[in-house]
Chains A and B, each alone.
Chain A
Amino acid sequence: MTVMLDITGAVLVALGSLFILSGSVGLVRFPDFYTRSHAVGVTDSSGAGLILVGLVTQTSNVETVVRLILIILFMFLTGPTATHILAEAARKDGVPAWRPGEKRR
């Protein structure tokens, strides 16, 4: 039973760190601010959720599980909100959107 939990936790943590790495690679490689914020918003929330759920399986204390679930809830709440307000502020400031064929910004 504990071996199953360990394997599940290890797989979840590995998957979450893969998401985080691909999000940061997308931050470097994408051509525009809006595409980058899309990459960051999606992979940050998903990767953080996966890693923290993987950490839930590593512990047996109820308080720790409750704290982890609180952190997950908070990240799911603030990640998309942060993406939205950043994109709206950039739009109001007039940051132009990238079209295919233009130079990278």
Chain B
Amino acid sequence: MIVGALGVIVVAMVITLFRAFRGPRLYNRILAINMFGTKTVLFIALVGFLTGRPDYLDIAMLYALVNFVALIAVLRLTHSHDLIERASGGSQ
């Protein structure tokens, strides 16, 4: 059962990569990479249960945190102009 779920998640990852390559502009790609990160978290948790080492859940939790922070960092990178404008009173 866990092997079946692992196979399905790998197939879903490959399909998500198609959108990451294809997506017309920036936001589709950010969305696809965010989804890829969530699937990676599930993948690590399932592999941990498959090999009988539930300690992999620590790695999965760390990667869930890293994924979220990376998303916010990328959005800050593309929207830094907006943030600078807001911070300096919006007159520039």
Contact = CB atoms under 8 A, between A and B. Distances in A.
Interface residues of B, number: 43
Contact of A44 (B15, B35, B65, B75): B35
Contacts of A44: 35, 38
B88 to A, nearest CB: 18
Interface of B is mostly: helix
Contacts of B45: 51-52, 55, 68, 71
B89 interface: no
B34 A27 contact: no
A85 interface: yes
Nearest to A10: B1
A97 interface: no
Given A17-B8, A20-B8, A36 B1 contact: no
A17 B15 contact: no
Interface string B63-79: 01100100110010011
B68 A24 contact: no
A70 interface: yes
B84 interface: no
Nearest to B1: A10
**Of B27, B32, B45, B65, most A-chain CB atoms within 10 Å:** B27
Interface in A64-105: 64, 67-68, 70-71, 74-75, 78-79, 81-82, 85-86, 89-90, 92-93, 95, 105
Contacts of B16: 24, 27
Interface in A16-35: 16-18, 20-21, 23-25, 27-28, 33
A-B residue pairs, 3 tightest by C-beta:
A24-B12, A17-B8, A64-B54
